[in-house]
């Protein structure tokens, strides 16, 4: 009856039902409390990084400007899907409108693409600082820093325009229930009432390109960084270089490790329980760990936070 009620006169679906985590009421309330706590701590942690960078003149450097923008991206990232997840956990009606579903898909994965670009730009910044220290001030100017930030934000949102356009043309006229907590690509296309193999292939290529290109670029820059650092004699210089890159590498490992499992081949997800857990990890856990990693590993950041508090 719910499926019949959510179709309009022409027979096309006007809303989707996100099953989320269909456990008993007690477990759903427990999940709501846990996810809410992680969500609030994520907002507080990333906001603290932004405030620390803004308030400390020592952090007005490209490295920390990128980090502040990255933290703001994480705030937008969790706000694109977690509030709806929390609402569905305590609500009987787990619906989302057709337009709302497309917007959630677009904003969530646009910021996912922007995160790939930001991680690449941050690795480029570390490459210049370690491998080209004498040329760093003349290359990584304030003007270039602003241009790279704009490139990351605009590039992420432009990259997802094609998948969004393709999905908006897919007809949904049958079942409207998806076993997920957000509007993901594969579960949405599985509800189509027409063949979508071409769209699945195109979206898979687009998502794979940005994942693999940015990941290979990051690997290339860190290969150059490692080659340079190993030439430095043992001592404070080498330790500082490794310490500077450790936080970024930890975030890269967390993010790409989970994203590659899911979206290199978006049409092949068969184990819905594992699919939801992996998606939940990079949608909620990764933004939660990022401020912890950067705050605990960076001496300047810890000092700025102490002064701020």
Whole-number pLDDT of residue 190 = 87
Please tell us whether the domain made up of 2-308 is placed in CATH 1.20.1070.10.
yes
Whole-number pLDDT of residue 236 = 66
User: Could you tell me how many residues make up the chain?
Assistant: 309
The three state secondary structure string of 75-107 is: HHHHHCCHHHHHHHHHCCCCEEEHHHHHHHHHH
The three state secondary structure string of 167-188 is: HHCCCCCCCCEECCCCCCHHHH
Closest among 199, 209, 189, 34 to 105, alpha carbons compared? 189
Compute CA distances 124 → 12, 41, 65, whole Å.
Answer: 47, 29, 14
What CA–CA distance (Å, rounded) separates 171 from 123? Answer: 41
Whole-number pLDDT of residue 66 = 94
Q: Answer whether 0.75 is exceeded by the pTM.
A: yes
What CA–CA distance (Å, rounded) separates 29 from 254? Answer: 27
Say how many C-beta atoms besides its own lie within 10 A of residue 169's C-beta.
9
Whole-number pLDDT of residue 241 = 67
The domain locations on the chain are 2-308
Mean pLDDT by 10 residues, the chain (309 residues): 41 81 87 95 92 87 92 94 92 88 94 94 92 91 94 95 92 85 88 86 89 93 86 68 76 85 54 75 88 76 82
Residue 173 contacts residue 130 (beta carbons within 8 Å): no
Q: Which residues contact 127 (CB under 8 A, 6 or more apart)?
A: 221, 222, 224, 225
């Amino acid at each position: 009856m719910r499926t019949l009620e959510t179709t309009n006169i022409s027979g096309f679906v006007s809303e989707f039902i996100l099953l989320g985590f269909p456990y008993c009421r007690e477990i759903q309330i427990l999940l709501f409390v846990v996810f809410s706590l992680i969500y609030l701590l994520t907002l507080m942690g990333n906001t603290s990084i932004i405030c620390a960078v803004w308030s400390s003149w020592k952090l007005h450097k490209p490295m920390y400007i990128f980090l502040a923008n990255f933290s703001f991206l994480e705030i937008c990232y969790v706000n694109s899907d977690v509030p709806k997840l929390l609402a569905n956990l305590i609500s009987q009606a787990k619906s989302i409108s057709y337009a709302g579903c497309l917007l959630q898909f677009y904003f969530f994965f646009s910021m996912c693409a922007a995160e790939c670009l930001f991680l690449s730009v941050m690795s480029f910044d570390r490459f210049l600082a370690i491998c080209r220290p004498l040329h760093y001030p003349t290359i990584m100017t304030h003007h270039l820093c602003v241009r790279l930030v704009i490139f990351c934000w605009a590039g992420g949102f432009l990259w997802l325009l094609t998948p969004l356009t393709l999905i908006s043309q897919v007809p949904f006229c049958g079942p409207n229930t998806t076993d997920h907590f957000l509007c993901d690509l594969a579960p949405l296309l599985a509800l189509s009432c027409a063949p979508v193999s071409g769209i699945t292939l195109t979206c898979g290529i687009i998502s794979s390109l940005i994942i693999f290109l940015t990941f290979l670029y990051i690997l290339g820059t860190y290969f150059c960084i490692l080659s340079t650092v190993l030439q430095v004699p043992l001592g404070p210089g080498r330790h500082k270089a490794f310490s500077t890159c450790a936080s970024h590498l930890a975030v890269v490992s967390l993010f790409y490790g989970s994203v590659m499992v899911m979206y290199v081949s978006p049409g092949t997800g068969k184990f819905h329980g594992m699919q939801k857990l992996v998606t939940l990890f990079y949608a909620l856990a990764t933004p939660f760990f990022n401020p912890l990693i950067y705050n605990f590993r960076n001496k300047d950041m810890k000092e700025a936070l102490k002064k701020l508090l």
